[in-house]
A and B are shown apart, each in its own frame.
Chain A
């Protein structure tokens, strides 16, 4: 009994209160420094989300509770004191409920689509075996700084396992290009574009030989093309006035020779090369899908471009279907397809990009700067086009030499040229935060272990929100690394996202989303508008307009903060009690309560 009594006395002591208040203040001060240096998540990982911090808060709560109880039976003049301390305990209970039972996540939705996958804050690694219909999930233990060394391993087959042996909490992806040893791959150039006030540098990487790879750089569109043969140089320098269909090319190869046919659906025969081969392009499907065993076009958004064509040589015909995104598919297949034994391999290069929704750029014409590598990558050439499409300048490009573009007194320089380049994306660890605009992600390092020994050259980095398909001794598993997700029992459909700006600027002044709730038991709900400070309440969840992403060529994304908080009202009630208590304690004469209950005030 005496132990319990002295414990109670210890926990109700005012001196412990002073110590725990100063201790908590000190911890919080350190936590904010951690946050400013290592980011919001780091402060959570190192302090706010830890068990020991929960312990400190519990200690404080216990202290407050014992202090209040130790003064029982309470005297009337202690009214304020008791109410205040009850308020604190109620708030702490409310916070506990929120942390245990609440949900706090993000729900990004594309315009004109519905979603119910809420992204939570914890990271996990999943192994999915589709054949066995098995899914394993592992929580990643986060750290404040980048760590290496074995964290955990997952057995995949009898003697191989997947090892997680590195974690970067703030990873910045650096796009790097290295010369290819085997002399394969597209070319890559680093272009600097600048004038007096402006300087910008970016890599362009040619991904499809014969076709331009384009990037937008400030006021200009830049492209790089690896030319196939010398005669292409003429077309590059003096492009035909008529524009091609813009769909793309069919490349036919046989015995090391390539023929390129621009895709124009004409349903008439045209010659390919001089060997008597003819082609007829039958159908172009920008968004090909298989419906009831037939290939049909879903809509004109070039998501999965495909083309059907027929080849004819000396009376023999054969039909092909090629998909731009799946060059490895056999091209002669499907019902009614004939193989004429002509022996041509075909693939499709698509030029079409998914539709652009031009944001604030309507009618804004821009200059174009086009680069091309000569066949065999023997040198680099360029053309600069003005806003109207006229050629301002052209010629050979030497590395590190300055050239004028002819518009807006902009000059350019190719600071690096790699004829055959391999693209490498490696995450660099950011040691600390440099400013509120830092953007980074998390990354983990995986490697394969056989019989407890790391297999060389199996190490790889995975960035947050990525998936990889790996094969271990014939067993195929899909590995995903992402934040935990939670599926809502209903879907939110984003009809429209709208951003208002400050007068005469592009600065966001307000943003709002028109949404409706779908797939509920009660049927579809009427659409409502969520805007800053005007959330939507549905099914116990609250949806707040948190942020947005606008990218050229992609539908807008509106990000909602999703919140479910069973402790909310407890905290509100606790807050009210607390304020009331402090008010009574400081601003009312304590003797008022003595008089109220009829006792005479003692002096």
Chain B
């Protein structure tokens, strides 16, 4: 498969030999990754596009030591020489591989294998027709369409037709032009001098890339980038600082480092709890707070890049909730001075962030434009942030509830300790109840403001209410005397299932309703796995507690 760029620039290159892709020594990638592309309704640096494409096609963040941007240019300019035999397309669904007669043991396939699969396109067409007529697609058909998409994206990169990097000189928001437009007579609004310059600079870039001439490449990239920013765009080009910021965000991976730091803090905090060493304590707090700081720093940068508060998809809410959980643990720690509180909280944050970092299919980290109804609205932002903060508080009460259950399991006689941790858990739950009640009402205010009704029995609303009712039932159960020590902790932990349903289940399991912007699928196995472990833990703790014969004492410590 040959790049159309060759045909288009009439390149007569000294053909390079067939070779497998390897990092190009002395090449600089920064400049080229800052070229802007208009894609899926947003202007972003090529850096982001390359990362998202590589991730989508191969499921990886780099390929054999090559960065995403290097892969992108390899595909665009020299696919047939370097990449033809690379198994790039990631196929994991076993029934799909069987259906297509692919080797079940392999996880990656070359473009050639997939293209030449005579079953694929026939079945894809049938599935696409079903999708068009809105018939229900089977899991296999969804995976089939997804593979076809992977293949299409790769092909469209090779041909250059998705690389909409040629700016619109009249308005930055108007459609930009893909590289393939260079091929069509009169498709571009540039004059002949500009057209000639594009040719010269692109040619330098490609020649430099193929011949591994770092100097030529650098010059081509610089000249081309300058041409895009000034002459071609007529000044209608994204700000350098915006593109740089997004690239910085991509490179920094703040949330990955946040969980790494939290994990380190967790180990140190455990050591402090055991040894009571004051030096270790200082260290652990520094590590914890730097993780916390990096977490919020990444969050703020992401807000600036997307130009909105992070309230729209599962990935962003996981980032926000895991941060909130640590925040509340620090507040309660400040009051009660017990390091177990943040120690328990970081466990939740680590799990959440690790999932966000590693399951791009379920928790999509890419930044998308907003749905119309979600734009520029104060109430929306407030109600979502309030409700998700309540999830964070409930998550903390979940962690602390599990600490209480842990004590029932290991040391049921330690009534005072148990009472103490029950109080912390209760405090977290109180924060949650206030925030969730307020957030649900604020959601009503927003719904009234933008949809015209305060309450519409939308699943997201209903599940927020259901979660609240569950916690209220627990609180009233305590007042009525039905729930004592163990029961109180166990029901608090179980009530978190309501939060999980409101948070994850509505979007990923129920899949209906007006709040359907954040919809996705997948991740069910993780959730079911968690529920099984949690229930087992409660049962074990209960058995141990019964065995110990300790009487249920007042829930909280005196005073």
The complex places the Cα of A502 from the Cα of B128 at a distance, in Å, of: 25
A459 near B: Cβ within 8 Å?
no
Smallest beta-carbon distance A25→chain B, Å? 4
Residue of A nearest to B463 (CB): A32
- Chain B residues, CB < 8 A from A565: 453-454
- Chain B residues, CB < 8 A from A22: 469-470, 473
A475 near B: Cβ within 8 Å?
no
A197 near B: Cβ within 8 Å?
yes
Contact (Cβ within 8 A) B510 A199: no
Smallest beta-carbon distance A16→chain B, Å? 9
Can you list 11 A-B contacts with CB-CB less than 8 angstroms, sorted by A residue number? A21-B470, A199-B129, A435-B511, A436-B512, A436-B519, A504-B164, A505-B41, A507-B369, A535-B449, A565-B453, A579-B434
Q: Report B's interface with A, CB cutoff 8 A.
A: 38-43, 121, 125-126, 128-129, 132, 134-136, 152, 164, 172-176, 369, 372-373, 375-377, 430, 433-434, 437-438, 441, 444-445, 448-455, 457, 459, 462-463, 465-466, 469-470, 472-473, 476-477, 479-480, 482, 498, 501, 506, 509-513, 516, 519
Smallest beta-carbon distance B273→chain A, Å? 29
Contact (Cβ within 8 A) B480 A533: no
Return the contact of A509 from the options B126, B375, B501 (Cβ within 8 A): B375
Count, chain A residues at interface, CB 8 A: 68
13 more contacts with CB within 8 A, not counting A14-B476, A39-B512, A504-B175, are A13-B480, A35-B510, A36-B513, A503-B38, A504-B38, A504-B41, A507-B41, A532-B372, A533-B377, A546-B452, A565-B453, A583-B434, A587-B430
Smallest beta-carbon distance A562→chain B, Å? 8
Smallest beta-carbon distance A567→chain B, Å? 8
A399 near B: Cβ within 8 Å?
no
Contact (Cβ within 8 A) B430 A586: yes
Contact (Cβ within 8 A) A32 B375: no
Residue of B nearest to A502 (CB): B41
A89 near B: Cβ within 8 Å?
no
- Chain A residues, CB < 8 A from B444: 571, 575
Contact (Cβ within 8 A) B476 A21: yes
Contact (Cβ within 8 A) A25 B459: no
A147 near B: Cβ within 8 Å?
no
Of residues 112 to 137 in A, which have CB atoms within 8 Å of B's CB atoms?
A: none
The complex places the Cα of A556 from the Cα of B513 at a distance, in Å, of: 25
Contact (Cβ within 8 A) A503 B41: yes
- Chain A residues, CB < 8 A from B174: 503-504
Return the contact of B42 from the options A196, A501, A503 (Cβ within 8 A): A503
Residue of B nearest to A81 (CB): B479
A272 near B: Cβ within 8 Å?
no
- Chain A residues, CB < 8 A from B519: 436
Segment at the interface with B among A40-48, A222-230, A258-266, A519-527: A40-48
Smallest beta-carbon distance A217→chain B, Å? 11
Q: Report A's interface with B, CB cutoff 8 A.
A: 13-15, 17-18, 21-22, 24-25, 28-29, 31-33, 35-36, 39-40, 43-44, 48, 95, 98, 104, 194, 196-201, 433-439, 501-505, 507-511, 532-533, 535, 542, 544, 546, 561-563, 565, 568, 571-572, 575, 578-579, 582-583, 586-587
The 3 closest A-B pairs by CB, nearest first: A502-B41, A14-B480, A199-B125
Contact (Cβ within 8 A) B457 A533: no
The complex places the Cα of A14 from the Cα of B152 at a distance, in Å, of: 61
Residue of B nearest to A196 (CB): B121
The complex places the Cα of A21 from the Cα of B462 at a distance, in Å, of: 13
- Chain A residues, CB < 8 A from B437: 578-579, 582
- Chain A residues, CB < 8 A from B482: 15, 18
Smallest beta-carbon distance A556→chain B, Å? 16
The complex places the Cα of A398 from the Cα of B479 at a distance, in Å, of: 80
Contact (Cβ within 8 A) B433 A568: no
Smallest beta-carbon distance A537→chain B, Å? 11
- A565, A583, A586: most-surrounded residue (chain B CB, <10 A): A586
Contact (Cβ within 8 A) A434 B134: yes
Main secondary structure of the interface of B (DSSP, over half): helix
- A24, A32, A35: most-surrounded residue (chain B CB, <10 A): A32
- Chain B residues, CB < 8 A from A438: 134
Residue of A nearest to B156 (CB): A197
Contact (Cβ within 8 A) B448 A28: no
The complex places the Cα of A15 from the Cα of B477 at a distance, in Å, of: 7
Contact (Cβ within 8 A) B513 A35: yes
The complex places the Cα of A582 from the Cα of B450 at a distance, in Å, of: 27
Q: Provided the pairs A44-B457, A503-B41, A532-B373 are in contact, do residues A578 and B441 lie with their beta carbons within 8 angstroms?
A: yes
- Chain B residues, CB < 8 A from A544: 450-452
The complex places the Cα of A543 from the Cα of B479 at a distance, in Å, of: 45
Contact (Cβ within 8 A) B42 A542: no
- Chain B residues, CB < 8 A from A502: 41-42, 369
- Chain A residues, CB < 8 A from B173: 503-504
The complex places the Cα of A568 from the Cα of B453 at a distance, in Å, of: 9
Q: Provided the pairs A25-B473, A199-B125 are in contact, do residues A505 and B455 lie with their beta carbons within 8 angstroms?
A: no
The complex places the Cα of A578 from the Cα of B128 at a distance, in Å, of: 51
The complex places the Cα of A501 from the Cα of B372 at a distance, in Å, of: 9
Return the contact of B462 from the options A13, A31, A197, A586 (Cβ within 8 A): A31
- Chain B residues, CB < 8 A from A13: 480
- A25, A44, A561, A578: most-surrounded residue (chain B CB, <10 A): A25
Contact (Cβ within 8 A) A40 B513: yes
The complex places the Cα of A196 from the Cα of B41 at a distance, in Å, of: 25
- Chain B residues, CB < 8 A from A439: 134
Residue of B nearest to A503 (CB): B173
Contact (Cβ within 8 A) A40 B512: yes
Return the contact of A503 from the options B172, B373, B451 (Cβ within 8 A): B172
The complex places the Cα of A31 from the Cα of B469 at a distance, in Å, of: 15
Contact (Cβ within 8 A) B433 A48: no
Q: Provided the pairs A40-B513, A582-B434 are in contact, do residues A533 and B373 lie with their beta carbons within 8 angstroms?
A: yes
Contact (Cβ within 8 A) A437 B375: no
Smallest beta-carbon distance A428→chain B, Å? 11
Smallest beta-carbon distance B444→chain A, Å? 7
Q: Provided the pairs A25-B466, A504-B176, A582-B434 are in contact, do residues A35 and B135 lie with their beta carbons within 8 angstroms?
A: no
Return the contact of B43 from the options A39, A503, A587 (Cβ within 8 A): A503
Smallest beta-carbon distance B370→chain A, Å? 8
- Chain B residues, CB < 8 A from A542: 452
Smallest beta-carbon distance A104→chain B, Å? 6
Residue of B nearest to A47 (CB): B457
The complex places the Cα of A282 from the Cα of B61 at a distance, in Å, of: 74
Contact (Cβ within 8 A) A25 B476: no
Residue of A nearest to B440 (CB): A575
The complex places the Cα of A190 from the Cα of B134 at a distance, in Å, of: 18
Residue of B nearest to A440 (CB): B134
- Chain B residues, CB < 8 A from A571: 444, 454-455
The complex places the Cα of A496 from the Cα of B452 at a distance, in Å, of: 22
The complex places the Cα of A40 from the Cα of B29 at a distance, in Å, of: 51
- Chain A residues, CB < 8 A from B479: 14
Q: Provided the pairs A35-B459, A544-B450, A586-B430 are in contact, do residues A18 and B466 lie with their beta carbons within 8 angstroms?
A: no
- A18, A39, A562, A586: most-surrounded residue (chain B CB, <10 A): A18
Contact (Cβ within 8 A) B375 A510: yes
- Chain B residues, CB < 8 A from A200: 129, 132
Q: Provided the pairs A35-B512, A36-B459, A505-B41 are in contact, do residues A563 and B450 lie with their beta carbons within 8 angstroms?
A: no
- Chain B residues, CB < 8 A from A562: 452
Contact (Cβ within 8 A) B453 A104: yes
Contact (Cβ within 8 A) A28 B375: no
Residue of A nearest to B434 (CB): A582
Contact (Cβ within 8 A) B473 A104: no
Contact (Cβ within 8 A) B452 A563: yes
Contact (Cβ within 8 A) B451 A198: no
Residue of A nearest to B164 (CB): A504
- Chain B residues, CB < 8 A from A18: 473, 476-477, 480, 482
